[in-house]
């Protein structure tokens, strides 16, 4: 090809248009493109500009036609440059993508998250349910006095129900609380009704086998106000169980006996594993005993300085460990306290 | 507790459908746990609660069935045939020396029995409920216990010296060989049945072997008495005994049953073992009897009952059911009743609430509608401690730690292996359990750390490449000389253990060390709005000197951070690092917490960063460098921190390169690089002159 700078002086706009096409076809990259662009559309030396400068040399009667030809050339060059820039951009992006290619099926780098204990998770869940029902959380010591753990709960010294509690006695006096009921007593001694509290916490019983751990967890619920009824107990229980398990969980109250409530009931729910159909976990009954409940015995209220003629109360208690085992499918209570990280880290 | 269906049917008509019987009994509070077909007939296993000693026999359970199904109760009372000329009163003497512990003692005498096997019907009923027949005389006493609930005992009258029964306390040094062949040392507070010279039975618990009815026995003295629940319980407990008799006496036997049950047993004995029942009974009532067993009369307002249960119990039903259960019921006004408790429910039914339960359990709890209490103002909001616990757990889980829950029981050695938590804890004594599972679990933890070390080792033994565990729990101590529960101090603590390496090279593997753990402690403290600092502490039990610190908040010792002494027990596959902090120390007062939570709006303009590397002796503490920077800092220095520490090539032996990074900011004004350089040089000169490594000086 002849030197373009030498010949643009003499070529007609139409010829120049063909030459631009030919040059554009040879552009390999952005640098060559920028060169091409400045040579053809440059403000001072560009081919198009130089052509326009020649308009004075054209005879007046041809000037209009010449001007139109130059404009066509200008449009063709600009369109050509635009197209070319698009093509080069696409080539560049393709090259970049090829360089950035990774195997997206490689495993992600997981942040090292920890986990909360299954019993904590369940306690938090239960606390949230009760807080939404207007309850607060009350707490008390784990080494309790005999008075708070037994006597005030209508289990005076010599009461046979004490034997069923498998109490750990502390040297020098006191017991490891066998339930969180002493927290109810402390609450009622400290406050006037209306009272709505739950008492979660660790409790201890001298019982150690495959189904029992000498340390475990309970949550108890206590409401004391004017005019609370057995129906209120039942309604609160159902509301709680439906939120904790599912809205279609059946709830059954069976009369039972606890020294600190009268009447008392064992509460069964439809077995969460077989949904009431009967399975090995529920011994084929379709029911699972999950908590104990009752109307606070008037003797307990009186002991705490609350007049049972004015106020009534209901209470219930359940094992948190049991709920955690159901929730997470942990077969053995002992596994809750082995602290095997392989198990703990699975808890969501 | 087992019941024979065929035996039960002797006292009331049973429904055809045993499943329905089981369902109704369960719904009334007598949970039928199992219905079993055995070679001795159908047997129910019923969970009878401790308050229902009256239902721990066939007649008592039949009474419930009769009420539930509207049948009649057929009571088994019978008088023995009146054929003897001899009077019981002439054959035995009974004296009650302890009227507080025995309010009634009824005796019968049967002469000329032929001891031998029981008839089949009797043996079968006993076998059905898991009792082993012995001989006809013993079996009758056992049978009547399971029939009526009254424990009975038959003595061989020939062995009762002076034909005299004295109910008295044991005398010092007395011993008794009980029916099970054990020789029992008797304590002076134990109630015994004695003859003219020595104990022949442990009152309410078990008879003596020497006066036992055997093949050679011809004359039987039959005891039917009422013993004080507490006395029986304490005696049985002290001797480690538990019998069918003690089980009932402890829970309060029917005080009006002795004469009737004695007559019933004597009649039955004559029937199955032959012999003649002497005329009349010796029925000694202590002067305390009537007062002690007064039957309370309770006012029952049926309107209140309905309101309480949220149901309308049909008119007349409450009366009908209560009467069926043995209560005396009189009208006491419109919808008001006066209800007198039967003698077999004396300890159990004391006031109106107890009667509500009686009526409602027969009516069925299913019929009680579920309601929700009217909404009142919500109870108290979460306490600062409760919020803190949630925050601490959240931070630790976010830092990669798994929450553990560990028993509070430790061996004395384990409890002493690491320092007790708490500033004053060293002066306290360990809290110990009187009746532990074993010596290994006899002491309540004084720190969470020994338990966490054990947990860490549980994991390393199973091949864990790393351990990261924490626990929130209580550490215990007893203030010296202070008795009772109030002498026990409970300190809530956060305990953490870590060690090993986390992740693969792909995951950017990280070896955990003391500073990973310290960072977690700092993150927790920061989240709690508390400034925590670590001071070197050597000589802490169980910790490695030189790699251990006391944690302080506001100058007070609140915990510990350090490396477990590798000499302290097992060979761990990697170093274990421990931290423990009193939770109370992390509880900032609300004002401080609010201040700590306030954020600073980030400036609009960027700041200028500058690094500085200082070569200094390894024993210069970072805390001093840090303090010097703070002291010398220009107001424009908004942040500085440790960037790196380096020893090795190019760093003299005994020295370390510490690189700090600084951030300068002029607030609303853009600083120039020159300004920053100037400040940086001044700071560098100050640090250099104070800490810089001078080869010559070494």
Retrieve residue B506's tokens. Answer: 């792909």
Closest-approach residue (CA) in chain B for A238: B370
Substitution target from A161, A195, A206, A229 for chain B, most B beta carbons within 10 A: A229
Please state which CATH number belongs to domain B601-697: 3.30.70.380
∠ Cα A206 A209 A212 (to 5°): 65
pLDDT digits (tens, 9 = 90+) for B150-184: 999 999 999 999 999 999 999 999 999 999 999 99
pLDDT digits (tens, 9 = 90+) for B616-669: 999 999 999 999 999 988 999 999 999 999 999 999 999 999 999 999 999 889
Distance CA B532, CA B569 (A): 30
Among all chains, which residue has been given the structure tokens 């290994």? B440
Retrieve residue B632's tokens. Answer: 């010398």
Distance CA B411, CA B417 (A): 10
Substitution target from B56, B485, B583 for chain A, most A beta carbons within 10 A: B485
Cβ-proximal residues to B385 (8 Å cutoff; 6+ apart), any chain: B492, B583, B587
Q: Choose among B251, B368, B473: nearest Cβ to A231.
A: B368
Which residues make beta-bridge pairs with B502?
Answer: B510
**In terms of DSSP H, where are the helices of A111-264?**
118-132, 146-149, 181-190, 230-244
Q: Is B312 on the interface with A (CB under 8 A)?
A: no
Distance CA A37, CA B456 (A): 72
Among all chains, which residue has been given the structure tokens 């004469």? B259
Contact A137 B386 (CB under 8 A): yes
Which of residues 470 through 509 in chain B touch A, CB cutoff 8 A? Answer: 470, 473-474, 476, 478, 482-488, 490, 502-503, 506-508
Are the C-beta atoms of residues B513 and B480 closer than 8 Å to each other? no
Handedness of CA A149, A155, A158, A163 (dihedral sign): negative
How many other CB atoms are there within 10 angstroms of residue A182's CB atom?
A: 28
Substitution target from A103, A108, A116 for chain B, most B beta carbons within 10 A: A116
Which of residues 111 through 150 in chain B touch A, CB cutoff 8 A? Answer: none
If you write DSSP's letter for every residue of A309-338 in order, what string do you get?
A: TTEEEEEEEEEHHHHHHHHHT---GGGGTT
pLDDT, residue B696, reads 52
Are the C-beta atoms of residues B500 and B510 closer than 8 Å to each other? no
Clarify whether residues A141 and A56 are in a common domain: no
The matching CATH number, chosen from 3.30.56.10, 1.10.10.10, 3.40.50.300, 3.50.50.60, for B297-367 is 3.30.56.10
β strands within chain A, DSSP E: 136-137, 143-144, 175-176, 195-204, 215-226, 251-258, 261-270, 287-296, 311-319
- Label the pairing between strands B402-403 and B466-478: parallel
Contact A119 B488 (CB under 8 A): no
Closest CA of chain A from B176, distance in Å: 25
Retrieve residue B670's tokens. Answer: 């853009």
Is A278 part of any domain? yes
Clarify whether residues A137 and A82 are in a common domain: no
Question: pLDDT class for A1, splitting at 50, 70, 90?
Answer: very low
Distance CA A75, CA A161 (A): 103
**Side-chain half-sphere of A305: how many Cα atoms within 13 Å?**
9
pLDDT, residue B396, reads 98
Q: Is B375 on the interface with A (CB under 8 A)?
A: yes
Distances, alpha carbon A46 to alpha carbons A15, A37, A93, A319, in Å = 16, 9, 29, 89
Contact B484 A252 (CB under 8 A): no
Handedness of CA B371, B376, B378, B379 (dihedral sign): negative
Domain chopping of chain B, boundaries: 2-69, 88-292, 297-367, 384-596, 601-697
pLDDT, residue A64, reads 86
pLDDT, residue A224, reads 96
Buried/exposed A28-47: b ≥16 CB within 10 Å, e otherwise: eeeeebeebbebbeeeeebb
Is A111 part of any domain? no
Contact A110 B507 (CB under 8 A): yes
Cβ-proximal residues to B473 (8 Å cutoff; 6+ apart), any chain: A202, B405, B406, B408, B445, B448, B492, B493, B495
Is A112 part of any domain? no
Which letter does DSSP use for residue B179 in this model?
T
Are the C-beta atoms of residues B208 and B178 closer than 8 Å to each other? yes
Contact B459 A120 (CB under 8 A): no
pLDDT digits (tens, 9 = 90+) for A100-134: 999 999 999 988 899 999 999 999 999 999 999 99
Distance CA B299, CA B123 (A): 45
How is domain B384-596 classified at the architecture level of CATH?
A: 2-Layer Sandwich (3.30)
Query: Where among A100, A130, A153 does a domain terminate?
Result: A100
Retrieve residue B137's tokens. Answer: 């005389």
Residues for chain A: how many in total? 348
Q: Using an 8 Å CB-CB cutoff, list chain A residues near B251.
A: 160
Substitution target from B56, B373, B374, B500 for chain A, most A beta carbons within 10 A: B373
The total number of structural domains that make up chain A:
2
Backbone angles phi, psi at A294, to 5 degrees: 170, 175
Q: Is B19 on the interface with A (CB under 8 A)?
A: no
Handedness of CA B272, B278, B280, B286 (dihedral sign): negative
Give yes or no on whether B2-69 and B297-367 have one common fold: yes
Q: Choose among B357, B381, B397: nearest Cβ to A114.
A: B397
Contact B375 A134 (CB under 8 A): yes
Clarify whether residues A131 and A86 are in a common domain: no
pLDDT, residue A51, reads 81
Which residues make beta-bridge pairs with A266?
Answer: A254, A292
- Label the pairing between strands A195-204 and A215-226: antiparallel
How is domain B88-292 classified at the architecture level of CATH?
A: 3-Layer(bba) Sandwich (3.50)
Retrieve residue A43's tokens. Answer: 């403000």
Clarify whether residues A73 and A170 are in a common domain: no
Q: Map residue B264 onto helix, strand or coil.
A: helix
Contact B488 A171 (CB under 8 A): no
Clarify whether residues A49 and A126 are in a common domain: no
Closest-approach residue (CA) in chain B for A267: B365
Contact A172 B483 (CB under 8 A): yes
Cβ-proximal residues to B595 (8 Å cutoff; 6+ apart), any chain: B529
Clarify whether residues A89 and A175 are in a common domain: no
Clarify whether residues A88 and A131 are in a common domain: no
Residues for chain B: how many in total? 698
Q: Using an 8 Å CB-CB cutoff, list chain B residues near A218.
A: none
Distance CA A20, CA A74 (A): 11
Clarify whether residues A323 and A223 are in a common domain: yes
Distance CA B260, CA B224 (A): 9
Domain of A217 in residue numbering reads as 118-344
Displacement of CA B670 from its chain's centroid (Å): 67
Which of residues 234 through 263 in chain B touch A, CB cutoff 8 A? Answer: 234, 237, 250-251
User: What's the whole-number mean pLDDT along residues A312-319?
Assistant: 94
Q: Using an 8 Å CB-CB cutoff, list chain A residues near B402.
A: 114-115, 117, 341, 344-345
Among all chains, which residue has been given the structure tokens 């024979």? B4
Substitution target from A105, A114, A294, A330 for chain B, most B beta carbons within 10 A: A114
Distances, alpha carbon B578 to alpha carbons B389, B406, B498, B528, B570, in Å = 19, 16, 7, 20, 16
Please state which CATH number belongs to domain B2-69: 3.30.56.10
Clarify whether residues A65 and A134 are in a common domain: no
Contact A266 B31 (CB under 8 A): yes
pLDDT along chain B (698 residues), means of 10: 96 95 94 92 94 96 96 91 86 95 96 95 96 95 97 96 96 94 94 96 95 94 96 93 95 95 95 93 93 95 90 90 96 94 93 93 90 85 95 97 97 94 90 95 97 96 96 96 94 98 92 97 95 92 94 94 87 95 94 88 91 94 94 92 94 94 92 93 93 73
Closest-approach residue (CA) in chain A for B383: A137
Are the C-beta atoms of residues B200 and B208 closer than 8 Å to each other? yes
Contact B488 A114 (CB under 8 A): no
Contact A229 B432 (CB under 8 A): no
What CATH number is attached to the domain comprising A207?
Answer: 3.30.930.10
Is A266 part of any domain? yes
Cβ-proximal residues to B409 (8 Å cutoff; 6+ apart), any chain: A214, A215, B433, B436, B437, B440, B441, B442, B443, B444, B445
Q: Using an 8 Å CB-CB cutoff, list chain B residues near A325.
A: none
Peptide bond into B632 cis (omega under 30): no
B147: left (phi over 0), alpha (psi -120 to 50) or beta: alpha
Pick from B47, B66, B67, B54: nearest CA to B2: B47
Is A261 part of any domain? yes
Q: Using an 8 Å CB-CB cutoff, list chain B residues near A341.
A: 402, 459, 464, 467-469
Distance CA B448, CA B492 (A): 9
Residue B174, burial from CB neighbour count under 10 angstroms (0-12, 13-18, 19+):
middle
Which residues make beta-bridge pairs with B559?
Answer: B551, B581
Clarify whether residues A81 and A187 are in a common domain: no
pLDDT, residue A336, reads 95
How many other CB atoms are there within 10 angstroms of residue B432's CB atom?
A: 16
Percent of chain B whose pLDDT exceeds 70: 99
Examine the pLDDT at A2 and tell me if it is beyond 60: no
Contact A114 B435 (CB under 8 A): no
pLDDT, residue B47, reads 93
Closest CA of chain A from B623, distance in Å: 30
Contact B308 A230 (CB under 8 A): yes
Most distant CA pair in chain B, distance: 131
Residue B151, burial from CB neighbour count under 10 angstroms (0-12, 13-18, 19+):
buried
How many other CB atoms are there within 10 angstroms of residue A128's CB atom?
A: 11
């Amino acid at each position: 090809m002849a030197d373009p700078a030498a010949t643009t002086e003499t070529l007609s706009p139409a010829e120049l248009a063909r030459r631009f096409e030919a040059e554009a076809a040879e552009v390999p990259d952005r640098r060559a493109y920028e060169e091409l662009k400045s040579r053809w559309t440059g403000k001072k030396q560009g081919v198009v500009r130089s052509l326009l400068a020649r308009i004075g040399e054209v005879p007046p009667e041809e000037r209009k036609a010449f001007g139109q030809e130059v404009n066509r050339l200008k449009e063709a060059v600009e369109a050509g440059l635009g197209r070319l820039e698009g093509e080069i951009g696409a080539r560049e992006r393709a090259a970049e993508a090829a360089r950035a290619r990774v195997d997206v099926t490689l495993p992600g780098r997981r942040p090292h998250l920890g986990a909360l204990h299954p019993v904590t998770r369940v306690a938090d869940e239960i606390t949230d349910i009760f807080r939404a029902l207007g309850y607060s959380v009350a707490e008390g010591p784990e080494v309790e006095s005999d008075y708070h753990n037994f006597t005030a709960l209508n289990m005076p010294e010599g009461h046979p129900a004490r034997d069923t509690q498998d109490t750990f006695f502390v040297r020098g006096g006191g017991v490891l609380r066998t339930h969180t009921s002493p927290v109810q007593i402390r609450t009622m001694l400290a406050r006037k009704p209306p009272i709505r509290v739950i008492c979660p916490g660790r409790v201890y019983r001298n019982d150690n086998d495959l189904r029992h751990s000498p340390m475990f967890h309970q949550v108890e619920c206590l409401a004391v106000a004017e005019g609370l009824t057995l129906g209120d107990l039942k309604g609160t229980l159902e509301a709680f169980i439906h939120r904790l398990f599912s809205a279609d969980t059946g709830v059954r109250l069976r009369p039972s006996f606890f020294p600190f409530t009268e009447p008392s009931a064992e509460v069964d729910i439809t077995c969460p594993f077989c949904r009431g159909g009967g399975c090995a976990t529920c011994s084929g009954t379709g029911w699972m005993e999950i908590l104990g409940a009752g109307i606070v015995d008037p003797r307990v209220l009186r002991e705490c300085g609350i007049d049972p003629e004015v106020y009534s109360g209901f209470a219930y208690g359940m094992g948190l460990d049991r709920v955690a085992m159901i929730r997470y499918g942990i077969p053995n209570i002992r596994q809750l306290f082995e602290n095997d990280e392989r198990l703990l880290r699975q808890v969501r | 507790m087992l019941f024979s269906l065929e035996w039960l049917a002797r006292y009331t008509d049973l429904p055809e459908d045993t499943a329905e019987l089981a369902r109704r009994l369960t719904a009334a509070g007598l949970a039928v746990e199992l219905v079993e077909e055995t070679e001795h007939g159908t047997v129910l296993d019923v969970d009878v609660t401790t308050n229902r000693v009256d239902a721990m026999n066939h007649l008592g359970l039949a009474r419930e069935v009769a009420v539930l199904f509207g049948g009649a109760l057929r009571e088994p009372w019978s008088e023995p045939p009146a054929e003897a000329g001899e009077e019981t009163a002439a054959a035995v003497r009974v004296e009650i020396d302890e009227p507080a512990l025995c309010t009634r003692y009824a005796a019968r005498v049967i002469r000329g029995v032929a001891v031998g096997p029981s008839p089949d019907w009797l043996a079968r009923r006993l076998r059905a409920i898991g009792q082993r027949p012995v001989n006809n005389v013993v079996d009758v006493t056992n049978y009547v216990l399971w029939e009526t609930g009254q424990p009975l005992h038959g003595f061989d009258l020939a062995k009762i010296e002076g034909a005299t029964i004295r109910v008295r306390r044991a005398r010092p040094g007395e011993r008794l060989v009980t029916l099970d062949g054990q020789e029992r040392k008797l304590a002076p507070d134990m109630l015994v049945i004695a003859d003219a010279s020595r104990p022949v039975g442990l009152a309410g618990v078990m008879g003596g072997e020497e006066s036992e009815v055997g093949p050679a026995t011809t004359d039987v003295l039959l005891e039917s008495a009422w013993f004080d629940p507490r006395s029986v319980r304490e005696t049985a407990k002290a001797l480690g005994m538990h019998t069918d008799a003690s089980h009932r006496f402890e829970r309060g036997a029917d005080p009006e049953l002795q004469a009737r049950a004695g007559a019933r047993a004597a009649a039955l004995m004559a029937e199955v073992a032959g012999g003649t029942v002497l005329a009349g009974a010796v029925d000694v009532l202590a002067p305390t009897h009537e007062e002690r067993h007064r039957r309370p009369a309770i006012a029952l307002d049926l309107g209140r009952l309905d309101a309480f249960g949220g149901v309308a119990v049909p008119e007349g039903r409450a009366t009908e059911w209560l009467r069926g259960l043995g209560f005396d019921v009189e009208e006491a006004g419109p919808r008001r009743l006066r209800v007198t408790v039967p003698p077999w429910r004396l300890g159990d039914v004391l006031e109106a609430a107890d009667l509500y339960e009686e009526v409602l359990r027969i009516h069925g709890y299913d019929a009680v509608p579920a309601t929700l209490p009217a909404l009142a103002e919500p109870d108290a909001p979460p306490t600062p401690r409760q919020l803190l616990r949630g925050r601490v757990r959240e931070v630790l889980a976010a830092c990669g730690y798994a929450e553990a829950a560990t028993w509070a029981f430790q061996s004395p050695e384990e409890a002493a292996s690491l320092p007790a938590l708490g500033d004053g804890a060293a002066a306290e004594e360990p809290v110990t359990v009187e009746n532990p599972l074993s010596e290994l679990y006899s002491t309540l933890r004084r720190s969470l750390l020994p338990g966490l070390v054990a947990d860490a080792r549980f994991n390393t033994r199973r091949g864990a490449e790393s351990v990261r565990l924490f626990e929130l729990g209580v550490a215990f101590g007893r203030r010296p000389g202070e008795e009772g529960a109030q002498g026990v101090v409970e300190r809530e603590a956060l305990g953490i253990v870590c060690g090993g390496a986390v992740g693969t090279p792909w995951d950017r593997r990280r070896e955990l060390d003391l500073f990973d753990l310290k960072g977690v402690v700092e993150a927790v403290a920061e989240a709690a709005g508390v400034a925590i600092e670590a001071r070197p502490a050597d000589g802490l039990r169980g910790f490695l000197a030189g790699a251990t610190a006391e944690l302080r908040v506001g100058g007070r010792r609140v915990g510990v951070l350090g490396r477990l002494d590798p000499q302290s027990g097992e060979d761990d596959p990697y170093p274990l690092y421990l931290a423990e902090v009193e939770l109370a120390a992390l509880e900032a007062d609300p004002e401080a917490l609010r201040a700590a939570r306030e954020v600073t709006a980030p400036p609009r303009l960027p700041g200028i960063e500058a690094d500085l590397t200082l070569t200094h002796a390894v024993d210069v503490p970072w805390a001093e460098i840090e303090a010097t920077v703070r002291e010398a800092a220009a107001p424009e220095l908004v942040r500085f921190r440790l960037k790196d520490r380096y020893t090795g090539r190019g760093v003299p032996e005994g020295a370390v390169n510490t690189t700090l990074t600084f951030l300068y900011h002029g607030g609303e004004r853009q600083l120039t690089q020159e300004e920053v350089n100037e400040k940086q040089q001044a700071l560098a000169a100050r640090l250099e002159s104070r800490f810089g490594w001078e080869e010559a000086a070494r």
